[in-house]
């Protein structure tokens, strides 16, 4: 049987996961600097299996505007190159037979503004996910009260707690989005 604590723990856990997913998405967004997070999630067709790049190559940034990808298996170079070209990063891979170099061109002001609006869209999606968790938790709390498991006062306290969790995690999403927008607009 579900208890009030179970509902609240599940609610907090799911909200935490929504924030984590949002932060992971932000890491893959391009800013003015090169970062391995930009390419590490690109899926490579490695012997017929879509595999994240970070699992088949070492990724480093020897310079602020360059990413170097060194595959553990040199035969994967062509597939890595193909996957990068197919991605929506708009980068041209330079393949020298042993490793791939990606030179990041500087972002235009217009492109920076597009990226900031993309961050805002992603933040709104994360906030909607958090609110959906709140809605589900509130439904479960109401159900517990209907079944007589908890009193009306307990239900009201639990709903307040869920609202506090919602505010906390929406605040984390807003902070992360603001920080990323600021990072993108820096030159």
User: Do residues 69 and 59 lie in contact, with contact meaning Cβ atoms separated by under 8 Å?
Assistant: yes
The residue count of the chain comes to: 187
Decide which of 103, 118, 151 is a domain's last residue: 103
pLDDT of residue 187: 60
Instruction: Please check whether residues 178 and 117 belong to one and the same domain.
Output: yes
- For the chain, 187 residues long, the average pLDDT of each consecutive 10-residue run is 86 94 83 79 87 89 88 88 81 87 84 87 95 95 91 92 95 94 81
Instruction: Please check whether residues 166 and 124 belong to one and the same domain.
Output: yes
Q: Which two tokens stand for residue 141?
A: 């709390």
* Number of domains making up the chain: 2
Which CATH number do you get for residue 65? 3.30.1360.40
pLDDT of residue 22: 92
Instruction: Please check whether residues 82 and 42 belong to one and the same domain.
Output: yes
pLDDT of residue 2: 76
Decide which of 103, 119, 144 is a domain's last residue: 103
Range of the domain at 131: 4-27+108-185
């Amino acid at each position: 049987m579900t208890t009030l604590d179970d509902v609240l723990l599940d609610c907090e856990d799911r909200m935490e996961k929504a924030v984590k997913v949002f932060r992971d998405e932000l890491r893959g967004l391009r800013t003015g600097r090169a970062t391995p997070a930009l390419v590490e999630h690109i899926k490579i067709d490695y012997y017929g299996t879509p595999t994240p790049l970070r699992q088949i190559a070492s990724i480093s940034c020897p310079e602020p505007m360059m990413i170097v990808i060194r595959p553990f298996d040199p035969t994967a170079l062509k597939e890595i190159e193909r996957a990068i070209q197919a991605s929506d990063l708009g980068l041209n891979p330079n393949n020298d037979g042993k490793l791939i170099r990606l030179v990041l061109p500087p972002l235009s002001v217009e492109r920076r503004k597009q990226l900031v609006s993309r961050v805002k869209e992603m933040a709104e999606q994360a906030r909607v996910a958090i609110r959906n968790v709140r809605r589900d938790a509130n439904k479960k709390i109401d159900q517990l009260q209907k079944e007589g498991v908890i009193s009306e006062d307990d239900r009201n306290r639990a709903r307040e707690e869920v609202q506090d969790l919602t505010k906390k995690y929406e605040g984390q999403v807003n902070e992360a989005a603001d920080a990323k927008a600021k990072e993108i607009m820096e030159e």
